[in-house]
Amino acid sequence: VYAQAGYLLPKNLLGEKGRLQPYVAYSHANFEGVKDASGKVVPVQVLDIGGNYFLDGHHAKITLNYRSRPDFTNVNALRYRPEITLQTMIYL
């Protein structure tokens, strides 16, 4: 299962050239390759929460994303770790 939702906020909220788009995404999966010691499939979930800041339309974008991701070091006691990503895109 995968779902995502985002909303582009109205113009001029952050100035004439910038727009903000918050979003959230969630996935839930049961992969046969992820099994615990008893052979039972371990469900995996991933949650993303973030925002895009568009500059001058879509000519530049800055994205900040938080992810709760699984750590498969010990599948018998699956833990989730935080991950923060900051990225940018520039269209010339």
Q: What is the DSSP letter of 92?
A: -
Q: What value does the mean pLDDT take over residues 80-91?
A: 95
Can you give the pLDDT at residue 72? 87
Q: Is 54 helix (H, G, I), strand (E, B) or coil?
A: strand
User: What is the spatial distance between Cα 4 and Cα 26, in angstroms, rounded to a whole number?
Assistant: 6
pLDDT at 29: 92
User: Is 7 in contact with 22 (CB distance < 8 Å)?
Assistant: yes
Between these two residues, 50 and 12, which has the higher pLDDT value?
50
The conformational region for residue 67 under phi > 0 = left, psi -120 to 50 = alpha, else beta, is beta
**pLDDT recorded at residue 87:** 97
The residue whose two tokens read 């940018």 is 88
Residue 57 has pLDDT above 80, yes or no: no
